Structure 1
Amino acid sequence: MKAQVLSAIALMIAGTVGSQLATAAEPAKTASATSVLLSGIESKHNDAAVRAQDDFFRHVNGSWLKNTEIPSDRSSAGAFMDLREATIPHLHSIIESLAKAKNKPGTDAQKIADMYASYMDTAHIDSLGLKPLQAEFAKVDGMTDKKQIPGLMAWLNRASISAPYDFQIHQDNKDSTKYVLDITQSGLGLPDRDYYLNNDDAKLKEFRAKYLTHIEKMLTLAGDKDAGKHAADILALETELAKIQWTKVELRDPVKAYNKIEISKLDALTPGYDWNSYLGEMGAKGKIDYIIVSQPSYLTGLSKILQDTSLDNLKTYFKWHILRSAAGQLPTKFSDENFAFNSTTLLGVPAQEARWKRGVRLADSALGESLGKLYVAKHFPAQSKARMEKLVGNLLLAYKQSIDTLDWMSPETKKEAQAKLATFMPKIGYPNKWRDYSGLTITKGDAVGNLRNARLYAAQFELNKLGKPVDRDEWGMTPQTVNAYYNPELNEIVFPAAILQPPFFNAKADDAVNYGGIGAVIGHEISHGFDDQGAQYDGVGNLRDWWTKEDHAKFAAKTAVLIKQYSAFSPIPGYNVNGELTLGENIADNSGLAIAYKAYKLSLGGKPAPVVGGLTGDQRFFMGFAQVWRGKMRDQAMIARLKTDPHSPGEIRANGTLRNMPGFYDAYKLKEGDKMFLSPAERVSIW
């Protein structure tokens, strides 16, 4: 997403409907909860043969791990993926209802139905061949001078086609009252720079070789008689881009990435590059007098690469990314080859998912909030939101009480922390106002054109923010997204409706499992406001250091131990977790669980927790946490995750976090010699 800087919990998708969608969502009505609450523990997935004290993740999820095969059309399986998959039929039902209705032209209903129908009409798509891309190819072929590149880059950026740099519109990190345009590194066809530059890893070298073959196949299908040479030229250019890109760890530093440069001074950074032409084509000229450059050294290096690379080679590169960006909407031979490389080779997924599912995801990506209105009305009970508001309130109270007892914060910083906590904005379920899609044109029978229009509309939606007041009501995820996030620029925590289901949240279950599940998710997101990145923003979203030097030193000492702990985990042979890349999320997991545990105790009001299903309240709390991370992943997908994802794999998020929790030791009587045991001196306690 281009609008905001997010820290998410995971990486990181009905009756007849009339001619128009409803203008507001009314929460679905359900029967009242029963007075006898369930444990919420999915005991069928447990493995009693594995001691809780030795491997809690497998104790809770072992039977599931043994008996579950990853579906052939997925790279992973687990709690997150199961909920995401369960949401697709709900959205499909909505879309099918829209398709059966007589929709007035220009309505959201017409757009959703026609977006889906156009994608599903494979016979028509196959008959068109590459005709839908000819005008775009001509746009590239028509360039006669490198001075035309900035204008082309503007179009590529707005069309969400990979190019050497991209843009974001978000709040100025030093002035959260205004929007700013941010230029960031981009332009690779492989997941990360390591895939191009690491010559010691046989698997990454294999991916690189297969990427070269893939490019050649796609260009050959497109009629390129010199596909082999052009594929080599593309890979060589992308390798040069990779060499000058910042690493994922470097990208975590918001201060280093904040480089405010007046437009009149950009030429000193990129000699000869016409930024006025770029900004004019973007529609930003005259609205701003400076931009943020996230990676200045990258742009300087890019300027030299553009000078040293022939115009013909640059054209080949641009046309390649136009082709790959639309591959899913092109004839079957293109979409199949695109899947074979990007899913089978890179992620290990053997089979492509059903086309109707892909069509649903496409419509969802284009008109997500319109679908969200109907999804919420059908699938999000009012009492779920009310109970979540109570959970969030207890989590915030637990943080408020904990701040005053922290051993790593000075009194003056604690005062600032309390002020920031008091301004946290929780958003639960769905937005108060819905996005207007009236400017988006969707035409039946034009799959590629609809994709382009949707992406151009989304880019224009962002660009229209320049010069306007910050919209603090906007959401960065749709209600049907199974995820949650913290945005430091708005100091908000957001929990879409779709994640508020078992095993994360169970309205029929006792509080213990919910505090261990969604409570830890809430705590995780709140903690991002105080982790090594989020703590650099104040309560109104400005990048400002409000900690003392001593606070920084004490916090760094604690987190250095976390880096060491997590770097020792090896989910697959030869590949370890990057403790520095995953630090923020590991802090959030440890902090979130600790605060959720305190909030659970607060919820009891001094009364003892009931024993449910033979389990104490504390045991259900920790089991609720572990079952949230239930999952498994194909090896190729795991490699990609370890290289690119700031989140640790699920098993490590469970066991790695619990080993630092004193309450877990008490609940399961851990002792020295147990495999989950860490000595008190080795444990990290942040909150």
Structure 2
Amino acid sequence: MANVTLQFLNPAFFTLKIHERDSYEYVKLQFPAHSALSSLDYYANDTEHNKKVLSAYLEYMVRVSKLLGVEEKTARPRMQAVLELEKDLARLAKKDLYFLNESTFSIVELQNLAPFFNWTEFLFAVFTKHIVDHFLDNNKIILSSPMYFEDVSIMLTKTKKSTIKNYIIWTAVHEMLPMLDNRFLSAKSNLELILHGANKTVNKPRWQVCMEHVYKHMPMALSAIFVQSPSVYDEDSIKTEIQHMIDEITKIFVKDLDSLSWIDNETKEAIARKANDIQSVIGYQDEIRDRVDDLYDMFKPNADFFQCMLNFYKAKTHRDLHHLVIGFHSWEISNPPQTVNAFYLTGGLNTMFVPVGILQKPFFRKKDSSVLNWGGIGAVLGHELCHGFDNNGRKFDVIGHQADWTSNAQHEFVQRAQCLALQYSNYSVNGENINGNMTLPDNIADNGGIHIAFRAYQNLNTSAKDKVLPLLGISNQQVFFVQFAQMWCSIQTPEQMKTNLLFEEHSPSRFRVIGTLSNSLEFAEHFHCPLGSKMNPENKCSIW
């Protein structure tokens, strides 16, 4: 297992990561490990669709085994046993998701909790002696759910060693499959069709395959080229405009705290401190131009593609393991500037990232009416700010330490969050309901973000200066909401939609719009929606 970890940083039964608090001083063992399928639901819930997925997954496992030289009569029972182990692990993880109790352990305590693994031997095999001594002396290991590790240890004592070995090998083989030829990619074709409604892995031009590998594994190398194009980014003027929007959104968010009677003054002060301290990175960070070679200094290219990728994985894993102790710089873990998305990082960073890629239509327009920008990128900026205060982000203070609110404020927040969770759980796509709990952080951010962005737009009196857009026959306030809705237009296959409902942290695009705007008093006012109508229900959900 240590060898697999050193190659892929994926120890099969759990994942290693940097903990999000105290300046990255902790190593966190988190469950579940990355599985070949995108959701635990496929393994744990015995539905007809999931049976179909698992059947296709087993055939994929068997076909790959045969391509590697294993006979059918050996491959099928071997892979069936591996699949049963995956299902058992998924059931434990699903059960223990409801008993999360993040705790700090010493290696001795961890060994007593989960004796199936020799933890000291594993850590010495993966890390240097200096780093392991650091763990031994300082109790620097955090378990996301002690119950999961205890249960897995008990389960594995009852599992054949050959099955455990084959499972670890399969996790490594599955990681390497994208580096192999079309025979191996074709082995997954039926599974891809069931999961996504299309086969995304075969018959691509070789240049596209190579480009996708470079983008996936070395995004900052492409970024260094991307940001040097003078046509990509009018740096000064756009940075100034986006920073102005962030400042105005933050000002409104803090000001509106006064009107929230359910939050006590002590908690309001803590929220305001954190909001006012949020840093912003707009466009890209200068290190991408100057220090990108540092990211790949351990990588030794090779003319053989497969060996080249193995070298890359090994170099990246060594670098990531090193950073488990010394921490990352924010530019190393931010999304590349060509990403069409913005994001917020909590913990010790408390930073909002707005890459170049999202500073284009339909989110942002350089010269158009400002209402389009406020309904577009403005709502996105409000969304990211609210992530600092969603059901996860609110647990961290201004310097990234876990510091919960007063008990009454917590209780009131939970009540309002449950309102949103129930609202979105009642939406369905093709007969499948949205998971309102899984999508809750982004639903909180969507609802808060649109409200704050609209208030900021109105507060700046830009609506009085903006010319009414011709031919539409609607006011600028209405344009704001139309722009917000247009931003999330998308098309997906039914299969992809079904898959997304199982693991996607955002609600489907349609309900990001309907759910958010039906909670908006401002939307109902400017579109004259009768009270009690679908888009202006009497009972609304609101947090920020």
Calculate the TM-score normalised by the size of structure 1: 0.72
**Cα gap change, 1:673 to 1:293, in 2 (>3 Å):** closer
Moved more, 241-250 or 268-277: 241-250
Match of 1:558 among 411, 416, 426: 416
Checking the alignment, whether the CA contact within 8 Å between 2:116 and 2:154 is kept in structure 1 is: no
1:511 paired with 2:364, answer no
**Cα gap change, 1:177 to 1:187, in 2 (>3 Å):** closer
Structure 1 residue identity aligned to 2:109: K
What is the deviation of 1:606?
A: 8.1
**Cα gap change, 1:347 to 1:310, in 2 (>3 Å):** same
Q: For residues 512 and 532 of structure 1, what CA distance do their matches in structure 2 show? A: 30
Q: For residues 491 and 643 of structure 1, what CA distance do their matches in structure 2 show? A: 29
What is the deviation of 1:189?
A: 2.3
Q: 1:192 is matched with which residue? A: 39
Checking the alignment, whether the CA contact within 8 Å between 1:162 and 1:187 is kept in structure 2 is: no
What is the deviation of 1:600?
A: 1.0
1:621 paired with 2:480, answer yes
Checking the alignment, whether the CA contact within 8 Å between 2:371 and 2:480 is kept in structure 1 is: yes
Match of 1:644 among 486, 503, 507: 503
How does 1:364-513 map onto structure 2 within 5 Å?
364-378=215-229, 379-382=232-235, 383-434=237-288, 435=292, 436-468=294-326, 471-472=329-330, 474-489=332-347, 490-513=349-372
What is the deviation of 1:474?
A: 4.3
**Cα gap change, 1:330 to 1:636, in 2 (>3 Å):** same
1:549 paired with 2:407, answer yes
Checking the alignment, whether the CA contact within 8 Å between 2:490 and 2:509 is kept in structure 1 is: yes
**Deviation digits for residues 630-673 of structure 1 (CA, Å, limit 9, x no counterpart):** 01222222222111122111100011100111111122111147
Q: For residues 595 and 187 of structure 1, what CA distance do their matches in structure 2 show? A: 36
Moved more, 422-431 or 343-352: 343-352
How does 1:188-337 map onto structure 2 within 5 Å?
188-199=35-46, 201-225=47-71, 226-246=74-94, 250=98, 256-283=100-127, 284-289=131-136, 290-337=140-187
1:348 paired with 2:197, answer yes
What is the deviation of 1:354?
A: 4.0
Q: 1:685 is matched with which residue? A: 542
Match of 2:208 among 337, 350, 357: 357
1:408 counterpart SS class: coil
How does 1:31-110 map onto structure 2 within 5 Å?
none
What is the deviation of 1:456?
A: 2.4
Q: For residues 356 and 472 of structure 1, what CA distance do their matches in structure 2 show? A: 31
Checking the alignment, whether the CA contact within 8 Å between 2:301 and 2:311 is kept in structure 1 is: no
**Cα gap change, 1:161 to 1:326, in 2 (>3 Å):** farther
What is the deviation of 1:208?
A: 1.2
Gaps of 5+ in 2: none
Checking the alignment, whether the CA contact within 8 Å between 1:629 and 1:654 is kept in structure 2 is: yes
Checking the alignment, whether the CA contact within 8 Å between 2:352 and 2:385 is kept in structure 1 is: yes
Moved more, 266-275 or 534-543: 266-275
How does 1:10-29 map onto structure 2 within 5 Å?
none
**Cα gap change, 1:198 to 1:470, in 2 (>3 Å):** closer
1:494 counterpart SS class: strand
1:521 paired with 2:380, answer yes
Q: 2:436 is matched with which residue? A: 579
What is the deviation of 1:685?
A: 2.8
Structure of greater relative contact order (alpha carbons < 8 Å, 6+ residues apart): 1
Structure 2 residue identity aligned to 1:197: A
What is the deviation of 1:431?
A: 1.7
**Deviation digits for residues 308-345 of structure 1 (CA, Å, limit 9, x no counterpart):** 2222222222222222211121121002223442x322
**Deviation digits for residues 408-444 of structure 1 (CA, Å, limit 9, x no counterpart):** 2111211111111121111111123234134233434
**Cα gap change, 1:469 to 1:643, in 2 (>3 Å):** closer
Structure 2 residue identity aligned to 1:317: Y
Count of residues paired in the alignment: 523
Q: For residues 647 and 609 of structure 1, what CA distance do their matches in structure 2 show? A: 32
What is the deviation of 1:271?
A: 1.4
Q: For residues 549 and 195 of structure 1, what CA distance do their matches in structure 2 show? A: 37
Q: For residues 475 and 265 of structure 1, what CA distance do their matches in structure 2 show? A: 31
**Cα gap change, 1:272 to 1:571, in 2 (>3 Å):** closer
What is the deviation of 1:515?
A: 1.0
Match of 2:529 among 670, 674, 681: 670
Q: For residues 442 and 362 of structure 1, what CA distance do their matches in structure 2 show? A: 16
1:177 counterpart SS class: helix
Structure 1 residue identity aligned to 2:343: Y
**Cα gap change, 1:239 to 1:641, in 2 (>3 Å):** same
**Cα gap change, 1:608 to 1:678, in 2 (>3 Å):** farther
Checking the alignment, whether the CA contact within 8 Å between 1:515 and 1:600 is kept in structure 2 is: yes
Match of 1:183 among 29, 33, 38: 29
Structure 2 residue identity aligned to 1:348: G
**Cα gap change, 1:463 to 1:529, in 2 (>3 Å):** same
2:187 counterpart SS class: helix
Checking the alignment, whether the CA contact within 8 Å between 2:189 and 2:199 is kept in structure 1 is: no
Checking the alignment, whether the CA contact within 8 Å between 2:283 and 2:355 is kept in structure 1 is: yes
Checking the alignment, whether the CA contact within 8 Å between 1:485 and 1:493 is kept in structure 2 is: yes
RMSD value over aligned CA atoms?
2.2
Checking the alignment, whether the CA contact within 8 Å between 1:179 and 1:470 is kept in structure 2 is: no
What is the deviation of 1:262?
A: 1.0
Q: For residues 186 and 456 of structure 2, what CA distance do their matches in structure 1 show? A: 49
1:532 counterpart SS class: coil
1:465 counterpart SS class: helix
Checking the alignment, whether the CA contact within 8 Å between 1:207 and 1:345 is kept in structure 2 is: yes
Structure 2 residue identity aligned to 1:370: A
**Cα gap change, 1:279 to 1:160, in 2 (>3 Å):** closer
Q: 1:602 is matched with which residue? A: 459
**Cα gap change, 1:468 to 1:161, in 2 (>3 Å):** closer
